[in-house]
């Protein structure tokens, strides 16, 4: 059996884009930093997000039934750290980091995001400690081009497209 520590160490070597996943609605406003985000299908446009089932953000996300995946640009480390809980800022106060607006679902969209996918959750499956949320994309925010914020070996770095 693989230990939790060994698994987390192995996953630290899987480079990933840094995202802030947000929600707002009757359950409240919340957000969290996530790397467990990926596309599922383009017909219909569908994504998945993994969130700890017992976290306040995970509970709020499921209550609201909607989310926005904000793909961070290089230099948005402070936003990532704030929504990861590393800055000592919690709850709605996290939205003091960055400028926010809304698209169709009402979930907060980060203006500086490279891209933001505004979605409605249509299925949630509990897998171990986490909930896998499948969501359909309703609207897209296309930010300015630039390098992406990546997370690899427990550090941030920038990934720029090769020409």
| Neighbour tally for 2: CB within 10 Å | 7
Task: Return the SS3 of 79.
Answer: helix
Q: Is residue 8 part of a domain?
A: no
Q: Is the pLDDT of residue 15 over 90?
A: no
Secondary structure element (H or E) that encloses residue 122, with its range: strand 115-127
With cut-offs at 50, 70 and 90, classify the pLDDT of residue 161.
confident
Number of domains in the chain: 1
Could you list the residue range(s) of the whole structural domain that residue 90 is in?
17-158
Q: Is residue 10 part of a domain?
A: no
What's the CATH number where 84 sits? Answer: 2.30.110.10
Q: Is residue 11 part of a domain?
A: no
Convert the pLDDT of each residue in 99-108 to its tens digit. Answer: 999 999 999 9
Q: Is residue 56 part of a domain?
A: yes
Q: Is residue 4 part of a domain?
A: no
């Amino acid at each position: 059996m693989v230990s939790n520590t060994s698994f987390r160490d192995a996953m630290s070597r899987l480079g990933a884009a840094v995202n802030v996943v947000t929600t707002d609605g009757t359950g409240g406003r919340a957000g969290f930093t996530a790397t467990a985000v990926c596309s599922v299908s383009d017909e219909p446009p569908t994504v998945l997000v993994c969130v700890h089932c017992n976290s306040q953000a995970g509970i709020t996300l499921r209550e609201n039934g909607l989310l926005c995946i904000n793909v961070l640009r290089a230099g948005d480390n402070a936003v990532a750290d704030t929504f990861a809980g590393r800055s000592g800022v919690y709850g709605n106060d996290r939205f003091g980091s960055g400028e926010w607006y809304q698209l169709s679902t009402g979930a907060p969209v980060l203006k500086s995001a490279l891209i933001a996918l505004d979605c409605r959750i249509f299925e949630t499956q509990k897998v171990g400690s986490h909930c896998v949320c499948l969501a359909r994309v309703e609207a897209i925010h296309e930010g300015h081009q630039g390098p992406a914020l990546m997370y690899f070996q427990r550090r941030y770095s920038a990934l720029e497209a090769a020409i």
